[in-house]
Amino acid sequence: MTTDETNPYRLRTGAWPPGTKVPAHVEKRVIVLPGRAYPIEAPLLFWTGSGLIEDGWFVQSVSWHRPPLDRGFVCAALQSALGEAPRADRTLVVAKSLGTHAAPVAAQLRLPAVWLTPVLTDTAVGEALSSYPAPQLTIGGSADPLWPVDAPHPSGAVMYVEGADHGMEVGGVRESNAVHMDVVDRVRAFAGSL
């Protein structure tokens, strides 16, 4: 997609990190859907993507600028990334916050997924995650207002960190970094099980 008046949110998908060679086919690919103001360059997604690359995954990342809080927009971004990424034997979706609005479409496509700090205050996201038809890992924290205690419980594996907020931060820098590394380890183990 191009950046012009027909694309005001600067929606793009591409290989990550930039400059990565893009083959026609890969064994395994991951589609990364960022948060509204949390791009793949932000710590949690950066280290998760880097860890998956170390494990042989091709990363196709979505980027956007001030996107609307709109499920249709996020689902279209997922479809664009799937269409623009190399063909693959296996596909994994990793989505953070706003990106988790793609859960209903990912469920229809039966794509294994990792949902980082999902927006469980949204009924469609909560319903999709509570009855997800493919393997999924859902990660969040007790201090995240978008994961209320009365939200539907996600099916599959769940990593719930006491005291972690919407950025999966808890305490100071070292404590938050330790939580992020634990998340990366869980995501890599999950992806390796697929």
Domain borders along the chain are 12-192
Question: What mean pLDDT comes out for the span 174-194?
Answer: 98
- CATH 3.60.15.10 for domain 12-192: no
Which pLDDT band, with edges at 50, 70 and 90, does 8 fall under? confident
Q: Is the entire prediction scored with pTM above 0.85?
A: yes
What is the chain's mean pLDDT, rounded?
Answer: 95
Which pLDDT band, with edges at 50, 70 and 90, does 1 fall under? very low
* 31: nearest Cα among 69, 71, 84: 84
The whole-angstrom separation of Cα 123 and Cα 137 is 19
Give the pLDDT of residue 158: 98
Which pLDDT band, with edges at 50, 70 and 90, does 6 fall under? confident
Give the pLDDT of residue 4: 59
Which pLDDT band, with edges at 50, 70 and 90, does 110 fall under? very high
The whole-angstrom separation of Cα 73 and Cα 78 is 9
Question: What mean pLDDT comes out for the span 45-53?
Answer: 98
pLDDT in tens, 61-93: 999 998 989 999 999 999 999 999 999 999 999
Residues 6+ apart with CB under 8 A from 1: 7, 11, 12, 13, 80
pLDDT at 5 over 80: no
Q: Which amino acid appears at position 44 of this protein?
A: L
Question: What mean pLDDT comes out for the span 103-111?
Answer: 98
